[in-house]
Amino acid sequence: MTTDHGHPAARMYIAGQWCQGATGNTAPVVDPATEEVIGDVPLAAPADLDRALAAAAEGFAAWRATPVTERTRVLHRAADLIAERAPDIGRVMTREQGKPLHESTGEARRTADTLRWHADDARRAYGRIIPSDPGTVLTVRREPIGPVAAFVPWNFPVGGPNRKISSALSAGCSLVIKASEETPATATELVRCYADAGLPAGVLNLVFGEPAEVSAHLISSPVTRLVAFTGSVPVGKLLAARAGQVMKPALMELGGHAPVIVCADADPVTAARSAARAKWANAGQVCTSPSRFLVHESIVDAFTDEFVRAAEAVVVGPGLAEGTTMGPLANERRLAAMERLTADAVSRGAKVRTGGERPDRPGYFFPPTVLTDVPGDAALLSEEPFGPLAPVLPFHGLDEALATANALPYGLAAYGFTGSAATAERLSDELQAGILSLNHCGGSVHEAPSGGVKDSGYGREGGPEALDAYLVTKRVSHLLAP
């Protein structure tokens, strides 16, 4: 089913049925490249959420009892469907979120690989037998925690939901997931792959709605056993507190403000090119996006010149247009934030080397923007930009750079460039981040854990650690009959 604009219709998925919701209330979905309404999203009422929770409770009982070999077979079939449909899913994603088509399609394909990894890793969720007294068998078992309430944002409309879905389902859990109301048809197409793969009804339930109302309802329900959230630090703290009030564990993947330290012995051109590729990906709307560029004073000019050249080579345009390398921002809120942060920095003495102004065209476009001479009190240096803004700051010594990098309450990602093994080890030791890349600005990979420290959250997604939050460790001491 498609809308009048040729865009797939968004639907909720509850108890194995696609639905509009009890009240029929909807909100518009906007194409960020044109600012045109291309569809609508159904908004859940409390009755819809109660149906989803009841379905998740029944679905958990059935899915938990399903042999792991059968669960793996279903999940691999879902991964195959995601991969097959990646070009179509990518087009839906680009219209709703704005990123270039090659990024959208690539995200869908990586999502399929992530699902395969987690499905296979669930077969290695080993327990153990502990040597004990004669006549006693002491074991440790790993069991699914139960129904999960998951909440995800709009910046990775397939990859974000799937990190929660794939981990939960692989571990044997069911879930109710609230995806973003700004990218609902993308989430619909993702969940459709699971449904078409033969996932039993109730195991996976997709809802949309007013965020505060949905989160309060799902978290407070006795059905929910785990809260999994990706999003901003303020919202994450609110949901973690709400979960804590009802003694429910939480997995929190929150925002960051990733520093990049470019040492004196690094190649400034190579570092600038690597950092630029990562900075402009998804228009900077990435939690791990490099966002503070600390460059040794001896090479800062060479780094900045190359960084500016890379920024000016970016082709900004609609994500579906041929040749586009950076699309619009996903919504008007991000556009307003870019204008505010740039104006604040300039008012305090910063210089715009390139970009800095919204183009005169429809859509939420903002160019790659490089700023220098940014004073320490500029909001850009303490507030996560979540957009294509890049402040370049010189430093004199590594102690100074590390102090600046670690000064903020965030600790999600960090990056470093150096030709010295000793310096690389020092960066590894002293940078306060859950994710560190040296001599490149690589993103998350499904075979290794990702997550933050400090205000950037807790728990890990990816790697063998991805299933930890979704499994309960049970100790069993069995005294054998005499």
Radius of gyration of the chain (CA): 23
- Cα distances (Å, whole numbers) of residue 270 to 63, 82, 153, 274, 417: 49, 35, 32, 6, 9
First to last CA, the chain: 66
The reply to whether 287 belongs to the active site is yes
Q: Which tokens sit at 338?
A: 């870019």
- Cα distances (Å, whole numbers) of residue 423 to 144, 315, 413, 417, 429: 42, 36, 18, 9, 10
Q: Transcribe 67-113 into DSSP letters.
A: -HHHHHHHHHHHHHHHHHTHHHHHHHHHHHH---HHHHHHHHHHHHH
Q: Which tokens sit at 328?
A: 């619009």
Q: Which of 253, 306, 384, 461 is catalytic?
A: 253
Length of the chain: 482
Q: Yes or no: say if 90 and 108 are a contact pair by the CB < 8 Å rule.
A: yes
Q: Yes or no: say if 460 and 435 are a contact pair by the CB < 8 Å rule.
A: no
The reply to whether 253 belongs to the active site is yes
Q: Which of 173, 193, 263, 287 is catalytic?
A: 287
C-beta atoms surrounding 20 within 10 Å: 16
Active site residues: 253, 287
